[in-house]
Amino acid sequence: MPPAPPNPDSFRKNHFVLFLNSLNSCGANPEAAKSLSRTGTMNISRLARRVGLAFVLLLAPLSIPGRASHINLPPETPAILDKIYSFDLQGGIEAAKRLQQERPNHPLGYLLEAEAWWWRIWCTSADFKYGMSDARRRPKGEADRDYFELAARALSLAEAQTKQSESAEMQFYAGMAEASSARLYALRAENRNAARSGVRGRDHLLRAKALDADLADANLGLGLYNYYVDTLSGIARVLRFFMGIPGGSKQEGVRLLEQAIAQGILTTNIARFYLALNLHRYDQQYERALNILGPLAEKYPGNPLFQLARGDLYRKLGRKQQAAACYRAASALPVQDGECLRHVQELVRASLAALGAE
C-alpha cells in the first residue's frame, strides 16, 4: 500500500502560522501575532516552505499561448520558455543572458534566468515522500547568491519603471521578483525573509490587478491565496482581522487558477503544473490532477519532473504499468546537469521501489 498522505490538519496549521509570521514580520501587532502563534503546534522553521509553495507559483516557467495580452513580451521569450520547459536549462540561461544584453532595463530577462536556475534547484532539492516527488527543504549555501541577485535586479528594474510611469505589467513583474526570492527563502527555511518577500509580492499582484482587471496572469497568485485561505476556514475571521483582507474559498481559488490556465499569457503552464500538484497534495483528487497535468507532460516529454509527477499520479490511481513507464521515461532522459541527473535517478529508484512494494 502507498504511504498515507500527510495529515490535512497539519497542512492547515502550517498555513495559519505562516500568515501569523507574515503579520509579525510586516507591521501588524506583534504581541497579538505572537499570542495567536502560540496556539500552533508545528515548528516555525517549517513555515518558510509553505510561503514558497504559495509564491513559487507566481514565478515559475512561463508559456506563451496564442492569445491577446496586456503584457508586452520581447519576441525572444517563447523560445527561451520552451528551452526551460524542455529542461534545456543551460540553453535557457544562455538565451536569458542574451535577452538581458539586448534589453538591459527590462526585468523579464533576469526573471527568466532565475527561472532556469530555479528548476535546477527544485530538481536537486526534491525527495520522494508521501508517494510523490517534491522539493521540501534545501540547506543554505553561497551557491544561491546569484539567484537572489537576479531576483533583486528584476525587482529594482520593475520598481524603477513603476516610479516613472506605473503599469500593471511592471507591478506584475515586481510581484514575480518578490515571489522568486520568497520561494528560495522558503525552501531554505528562512521564514521571516520568505514571509516579507511573499507579502510584498502579493501586494504588487493586487496592485497589478487593480490597474488591469483583465490581467489573467495575476489570477495565479490570487487563486492560490483563495485556495489556501479556505483550508484555514475555521480561522479565516482572525486572518481577515489582522491582515485586513477578505476570506476566500477553495472553489474560487480553483476557478482563478483555471482562469490563469485558460487566459493567462505568462502563467498558463505553471498554473496547470501547480494546480495538479495541489490537488494531489491536499485534496487527493488524483484523476482530476492527472487530467490537468497530462497536456503539459505530453507537450514537454523531455522534462523529467513532469514525468515523475505524472507517474506519481498514476501510482496513486493504481495504474502501476503506466506509473512505471513514466518513471523509466524520466530515468532515460538526457539531463545535462550532472547533479540534477543523479538526483533524478535517485528519485526514480525511490519511486520504482515504492511501486514494487505495493
In angstroms, what is the C-alpha Rg of the chain? Answer: 19
DSSP helix/strand/coil, 325: helix
pLDDT bucket at 36, cuts 50 / 70 / 90 = very low
With 0-12 / 13-18 / 19 or more C-beta atoms within 10 angstroms meaning exposed / middle / buried, residue 38 is exposed
Does position 235 have pLDDT exceeding 70, yes or no? Answer: no
Mean local confidence (pLDDT), 18-24:
38
pLDDT bucket at 247, cuts 50 / 70 / 90 = low
pLDDT bucket at 205, cuts 50 / 70 / 90 = confident
The confidence score (pLDDT) of residue 282 equals 87
Does position 11 have pLDDT exceeding 80, yes or no? Answer: no
Asked if the structure places residue 2 within a domain, the reply is no
For the chain, percent of residues with pLDDT exceeding 90: 55
The confidence score (pLDDT) of residue 100 equals 98
pLDDT bucket at 182, cuts 50 / 70 / 90 = confident
Q: What is the DSSP string of 67-95?
A: S--SS---TTHHHHHHHHHTT-HHHHHHH
**Is 345 within 8 Å of 99 (Cβ atoms)?**
no
| C-alpha span between 301 and 277 (Å, rounded) | 18
Taking all residues of the chain, what is their mean pLDDT, rounded to a whole number? 80
Domain enclosing residue 301, as ranges: 8-356
| C-alpha span between 80 and 101 (Å, rounded) | 14
Asked if the structure places residue 90 within a domain, the reply is yes
With 0-12 / 13-18 / 19 or more C-beta atoms within 10 angstroms meaning exposed / middle / buried, residue 234 is exposed
Asked if the structure places residue 284 within a domain, the reply is yes
Overall number of domains in the chain: 1
What's 315's domain CATH number? 1.25.40.10
Of 348 and 59, the one with more pLDDT: 348
Mean local confidence (pLDDT), 27-31:
36
Mean local confidence (pLDDT), 211-240:
70
Neighbours of 201 (CB within 10 A): 27
Q: Is the dihedral of CA 354, 120, 124, 13 positive or negative?
A: negative
| C-alpha span between 220 and 225 (Å, rounded) | 9
The confidence score (pLDDT) of residue 185 equals 93
Of 148 and 260, the one with more pLDDT: 148
The confidence score (pLDDT) of residue 40 equals 42
The confidence score (pLDDT) of residue 174 equals 95
Asked if the structure places residue 3 within a domain, the reply is no
Asked if the structure places residue 1 within a domain, the reply is no
Q: What is the DSSP string of 326-350?
A: HHHHHHHS--SSHHHHHHHHHHHHH
The confidence score (pLDDT) of residue 61 equals 40
336, three cell numbers: 545535462
Mean local confidence (pLDDT), 300-309:
97
pLDDT bucket at 358, cuts 50 / 70 / 90 = low
Flag the least confident range among 26-35, 69-78, 243-252: 26-35
Core vs surface per residue 59-78: b (16+ CB within 10 A) or e: bbbbbbeeeebbbebeebbe
| C-alpha span between 259 and 225 (Å, rounded) | 14
Mean local confidence (pLDDT), 61-85:
73
- This prediction has a pTM of 0.79
Mean local confidence (pLDDT), 63-83:
74
**Is 5 within 8 Å of 284 (Cβ atoms)?**
yes
**Residue 196 identity (one-letter amino acid):** R
pLDDT bucket at 241, cuts 50 / 70 / 90 = low
Asked if the structure places residue 181 within a domain, the reply is yes
Q: What is the pLDDT of residues 125-162, one digit of tens each?
A: 999 999 999 999 999 988 899 999 999 999 999 999 99
Core vs surface per residue 98-137: b (16+ CB within 10 A) or e: ebbeeeeebbbbbbbbbbbbbbbbbbbbbebeebbbbbee
For the chain, what percentages of helix, strand and coil (3-state, to nearest 5) are there?
A: 75, 0, 25
The confidence score (pLDDT) of residue 232 equals 55
Between the alpha carbon of residue 292 and those of residues 87, 289, 300, 305, 316, the distances in Å are 20, 5, 14, 15, 15
Asked if the structure places residue 166 within a domain, the reply is yes
Mean local confidence (pLDDT), 208-212:
95
**Residue 164 identity (one-letter amino acid):** Q
Asked if the structure places residue 240 within a domain, the reply is yes
| C-alpha span between 269 and 150 (Å, rounded) | 22
The residue among 38, 34, 46, 39 whose CA lies nearest residue 6 is: 46
